[in-house]
Structure 1
Amino acid sequence: MRESSPLLAGLRKRIARLAADGGFESRRTEGWLASGHASFDAAIGGGLAIGRCHEFFATDALDATSAAAFASLIALRTPGKAPLIWLRTSDAGKRTGHIYAPGIAELGGDPDRLLLVETADPKMLLACANDAIRCTGSAAVIVESWGKFPLLDLTAGRRLALGARDAGTTLLMLRLNAAPAPSVAETRWSVAAAASHALEANAPGAPAFDLELLRWRGGAAPARWRLDWNHDEQSFREAALSGALLPLPARRAMASHGAAAA
């Protein structure tokens, strides 16, 4: 089959080398990717289903970084050392910032597992996503897009979902500055930043997230959680502080002020 991108051809070779060198354990093709938060995982049948497609939407544009952080932390919880592929357009990289490897390490993740591919446009992003989910040896694929993604219609989404299921690859669709729409995703989430609990000497606390389950094909009703990331255990836990989110009108005012200043 013709390669859709020279980058993916090189990526396949790199993953194949890792496999030949015994660089990672065999991945599971079924089961659940647990967050570590007992009630959260129990509510969705044990965690995010492996080999399925899951969508993450930022509650608003100000939450793009939080949504990306949550998706990456979930991906880093995949067992073993299998590579994690992160696909994004160059435009998304400019808008949300570059991925910082020391920051991933500080959160307890292994940045060496992360293979980043930037594409020129959404058309190439979709083509690369279809290739990436079929790369033998990858544990999860994150596909990051910004704004509307007309090419990702129900037909294209079904193709991605079937590819993820057949390969046993967990597909995390990171939809930033976009509104939720009908899709074939197993779960759909809205992610926002939540107040974290300050450490000693008023040092910044662990990342905290406000999550809303918008849809689950298993049938659970919409629900919300507040989760903290535990660096030492590399898992999520109940938020140590109830903490309120910044009210939506204030968040929009901040965004409008930033746009005016630019």
Structure 2
Amino acid sequence: MPNTHVPAAGEAMPAAEEMHIITGRFSRRLILAGLASLPAIAGATAALAMPKAHPDAELFRLERELDALQSRMDMLEKTQNQLHAIAEKAAGLKPVHPSKWEKPSMPDDLKEMQSTWFRSVNFSAIDLDIEKEAARCPELVRAWNRAYAEEQASVKAAWDKYKARLDEQQRLIGWTEKEAEFDDVVSDHWDVGRSILEIPARTIEGMAVKAKAAKSIGLLQLGGEAGDALGFISADIERLAGGAA
């Protein structure tokens, strides 16, 4: 067994051993005190390490939201284009759209007949009988106009039937449902873009976010509304110039 000296009752403890015990107790107090203060130290350290919030932090946050919505729009648009192509194929032969239909030209001799009749009508007369005057128009001219109107109606009817088939095919393959989702995303994209423009920019970086947003939501291509975007950005320029002064 180790020959450890145990002081007898009343015997003085050696100075070195007493100092060791006192130092140990003091060290434990320091350790406990240090552990207790760790949360405060950590909080102070984190505060020092955390960078100061950027003056345009909200604009940057909204920019990320706008970018995410733009990506969603692009993906939905691609999907919609693919589904639309499938629906078009299933709908059958696509007729000419009424707006693309070219009106046939009236023959010159009929034009002259119509002009002669038109000049003979006194449109300022109080008792003008429109139906009677129309009946006086040469029959060849009236026949040509009837044929034109019938052809125009036929073009529209053919398109309406095709459009009904196309709508049904789009519904069957889910295009209609996706289109509603796309419209919602477009609306959200517009709202976020407008929000960005309405927030005052405090730095050049913030102004760049606003310029990008104006382009992203198409404001610069919307004629009069482009003035809104330029107005917001002009206000930022004036604000920054005033701060620099």
Bin of the TM-score, shorter chain as denominator length? under 0.3
Larger radius of gyration: 2
Q: Which has the higher strand share?
A: 1
Q: Which has the higher helix share?
A: 2
Q: TM-score if structure 2 supplies the norm length?
A: 0.18
- Which is bigger in relative contact order (C-alpha 8 A, separation at least 6)? 2
Q: TM-score if structure 1 supplies the norm length?
A: 0.17
